[in-house]
Structure 1
Amino acid sequence: MKKVLIADDEPNILILMEQTLEQLEDDYDVILLTASNGVQALDIIQTEQPDLVFLDVMMPQMSGLEVCKTVKQILGMSNTYIILLTARGQEFDRQNGLAVGADLFVTKPFRPREILSKSQEVLGLA
């Protein structure tokens, strides 16, 4: 069973992402998990070991960059595919995200269809 974590402190983004990815639950063996801050996201990543993580860069308690760095560089969870989501689309921000180990950097607003397609690809469902 594949697991996907959506971590974002904006309730509207969480709802949009859940609605977008619910199709995966309907069509495949996928569990959706959610977190509203970085500490909660890190805890879920450590306990549930999701295959795919969508991480908002700017979250309370612990930023998405810190979570990503901890997961990839400290815990060595290289099999966890991390997509950073941010409203900041500057090249500097993208480079920072990739430097801490993110696999992909997506700027908000995003296209739900692209999120679904990328999720299917990463999870080997496409």
Structure 2
Amino acid sequence: MPLASGLLTGKFSKHSTFTAGDHRNFNRNGEMFDKGETFSGIDYETGLVAVDALKNLFPQNENLTPIALKWILQHDEISTIIPGASRPEQVLANLEALNFPALSQQQIIEINEVYSKFIKKSVHQLW
């Protein structure tokens, strides 16, 4: 699950709201364009549950973005990622992945389990 329209920042909850012009508000279910553009095609509430599971794996990391980017980069098949950012601080948060230590094999297994349990059924067939 890439960055999922900001879900992996850990700052959203079931009570979060988005402005009228924000695609996370008006395209939550794909009404305006492909739902894959909003929360990476993942149901928002399911995404929050997955984020909570990831937070349990990495309790010392408030922002899961660097971990997600490191996870992506540790796939041998991946050579490049293009994370989104609309503000300079988001670019800096993305760059934290460069200094984040390599994930252990156990951490990768645990992240993959979260993916399989909460995310795979919703999006894997779309790839």
Do they fold alike, i.e. is TM over 0.5?
no
Higher helix share: 2
Name the structure, 1 or 2, with higher relative contact order (CA <8 Å, separation 6+): 2
Question: Which band: TM-score by shorter chain?
Answer: 0.3 to 0.5
Rg comparison, structure with higher value: 2
Greater strand proportion: 1
Q: TM-score, length-normalised on structure 2?
A: 0.35
TM-score w.r.t. length of structure 1: 0.35
